[in-house]
Amino acid sequence: MKDFVAIDFETGNPQRVSVCAVGYAKVSDGNIIETKGYLLKPVGGHAPFQSNIHGLKDEHTFDKPDFGDIFEEIKELFNYPLVGHGLFDKQVLNALSDHFGLGLRFNYTDSVSVAKEKLPTLKNHKLKTLAKHFHLPDFKHHDAAEDALTCANVFLQLQNYIKEQPAPGVADETHYFKGMVSGILLDDDVNYKELCALIYWLEDHPGTSAKYEHLYLETKAALDDGGLDCIEAADIKKHLEETLNT
């Protein structure tokens, strides 16, 4: 795929519709031809946990448009195949479409899934890890425009990468699941977006979800109640660490 748009969202609070930043990188014939980012006023305002992740607060977005206001300016992007690093951005886009009545229909590729297929032995498949693996420039993580640009570069590299052969007996659901858990714990930060991606993956893999039912239920409850405070984050981190030892 040589023509696509890499996209990244940052949210102001636990609601997926609460976009406070969006960035994109447009690719044509395998070359990045346009990048841009917007700060947006999030639906429901800012919550401390999310602000601690990306640094955006009300003072940065109180006078900005919302996603519905800029949609006319960027709507042509959604005619291209979209690429996002994880399922979180797909969920956000669906929530925005529903909230603003946009009726969006789009083709979405998860670059994390592609990375896991092409690089099954990599220690994790975070954007920073993949950027380092492919010797890409340093970037400011959780800056929507920089994340989108890096996602585009990573996806271009992945498409040209010859698939590694996984080690015998490890390329199964449990292996991938524990790889995701290790990735979340790698930087000692239980990240809201990564926990959402973990829940989405578990919901798509009921066997693994049942095997780690306690972790699944505890994590889902923490995300479903409209927030993730420091106590909940510490508790989930403990469960994740225990999971690696089972």
Closest CA to 86 of 203, 184, 8, 177: 8
Axis-axis angle for helices 88-100, 192-204 (nearest 10): 90
Are 45 and 58 in contact, with CB atoms under 8 Å apart?
yes
- Average pLDDT of span 170-187: 76
Q: Which of 33-37, 131-135, 227-231: highest mean pLDDT? A: 33-37
pLDDT digits (tens, 9 = 90+) for 91-126: 999 999 999 999 999 999 999 999 999 998 888 899
> Which pLDDT does position 180 carry in this prediction?
83
Are 125 and 175 in contact, with CB atoms under 8 Å apart?
no
Structure tokens, 213: 């039912």
Structure tokens, 94: 């669906």
What ranges do the domains of the chain cover?
A: 4-159, 173-244
For domain 4-159, give the fold.
Answer: Nucleotidyltransferase; domain 5 (3.30.420)
Are 106 and 18 in contact, with CB atoms under 8 Å apart?
no
Query: What b/e string do you get for 223-245 counting C-beta neighbours within 10 Å, with b at 16 or more?
Result: beeebbeeebbeebeebbeebee
> Which pLDDT does position 163 carry in this prediction?
62
Give the percent of the chain with pLDDT over 90: 56
Enter the pTM of the model: 0.73
- Residue 120 CA: distances (Å) to CA of 38, 61, 162, 165, 168: 34, 39, 12, 8, 11
Is it the case that residue 164 has pLDDT exceeding 60? no
Structure tokens, 138: 């340093």
- Average pLDDT of span 132-159: 94
